[in-house]
Amino acid sequence: MIRISLEVIRRTDRFEVEVQAASIRQALKVAGEVYPGSEIRVLFPIEPEVFFVRSGVATTELMEKTGAREAS
């Protein structure tokens, strides 16, 4: 399992979410399903301390990190 930060751009809103999933590809897919029609980007740099999830439970989660802001 991995945990990764993604940027979601939806019309004039831009915000960050954190997704825990089996892979980066699955994290992008989950975010795309939750926010259809939005542009989803991986945020770099990827933090190595939190990238690999050491939990024994395999779950897929999406958590909004920050409030929405206007896209430029």
pLDDT in tens, 25-68: 999 999 999 999 999 999 998 888 888 888 655 567 777 776 65
Report field, pTM of the whole predicted structure over 0.75? yes
- Backbone angles phi and psi of 2, in degrees to 5: -130, 160
71 contacts 14 by C-beta, under 8 angstroms = yes
CA distance 62 to 5: 10
Cα 39 off chain centre by: 11
Give the domain extent around 33: 2-70
Peptide bond into 45 cis (omega under 30): yes
Q: How many domains does the chain have?
A: 1
How confident is the model at residue 8, as a pLDDT? 96
